[in-house]
Amino acid sequence: MTFNLTIIGSGSGAPLPGRFTSAQVLNVHERFVLIDCGEGTQINLRRFGINFNRIELILISHLHGDHYLGLPGLLNTFHLLGRTKELHIAGHRKLKELIDFIFKIAGFEPSYPIHFHVIDYFEPNYQLLFPSYSVNFFSLLHRIKATGFRISEIGTSEKISKEFIAKYKPDIETIQALKTGNEFFDNDGNLIPRSEIFIHASPPRSFAYASDTVFSRDIIPHIENANLLYHEATYASALQVSAVEKMHSTSVDAATIALEAKVKKLAIGHFSSRYKVPDLLLEEAKAIFPNTIACSDGLKIEI
């Protein structure tokens, strides 16, 4: 089953040639989740071959412009493309107020239903559920209210082996009975063990997203053992003081969190424009957490 991440924008602040601001698309079994939507997101969605109509959920972490300014234009483009499929958006209360205001002054009525989920009103441990995945929310420590996300596959039940079906050719009624726990005997009366009948599903995979935040161990319980963690790394360690002042993280901060949270892989991004290439940040992070990769626009990560 498909579970991968495409980096749409890997920069911070303002877009640069070749490095747009924050946006990512998570593909969960061909259902797409857009995470943050910086300026120009829809340009890179087209550039990297993302099917607009498969985006069913948009998650906005906070209301700094490099994380949401592309959203109004994208919603308008959905309308221009004749979208009728419903869209879910999860963001803070002020984002909903902003979108409602823009729609009102423009006299805009989208061609598709929008379901807005206000993060501010969620109870602790609230989950947003979709057919193939769930979303959990956790607080980040930034200059304004900001939220991180953990998106997890919903576990699939065990499946009948193709080899078993080809060998014994069971009918539909027998297959249904097996799924409810019945035993199966071959023509000679031999019991066939369930290990030869079923393929056990793989453990559910998860992706955690933490941007923007100052170094905070408070997020560790929410991201522990994730298959992939994205954690902002705006600065190199030499600018630790600036990172704290601006409530961002360094590459060392991100790697330390990944190590302590026991995640399997770390992706760093949200790079300051002072770094034309992220080599220094990647080097610093890998010294602490070797299984680290640096994001770049268009990078696809299999999870």
Catalytic residues: 66
CB contact at 8 A, 24 and 43: no
Rounded CA-CA distance 242/98 in Å is: 30
Cα 248 to chain center, whole Å? 20
Rounded CA-CA distance 174/149 in Å is: 42
Rounded CA-CA distance 138/21 in Å is: 22
Tokens of 261: 């949270």
Question: Beta-carbon neighbour count of residue 119 at 10 Å?
Answer: 23
Tokens of 188: 């000679």
The DSSP annotation for 261-297 comes to HT-S-EEEE-B-TT-SS-HHHHHHHHHH-SSEEE--T
DSSP state at residue 23: E
Question: Beta-carbon neighbour count of residue 229 at 10 Å?
Answer: 28
Nearest 5°: phi and psi at 194? Answer: -60, -25
Choose among 118, 116, 115, 137: nearest CA to 126. 137
Choose among 245, 240, 213, 232: nearest CA to 278. 232
Rounded CA-CA distance 260/27 in Å is: 27
Q: How many Å is the Cα radius of gyration of the chain?
A: 22
Three-state SS at 124: coil
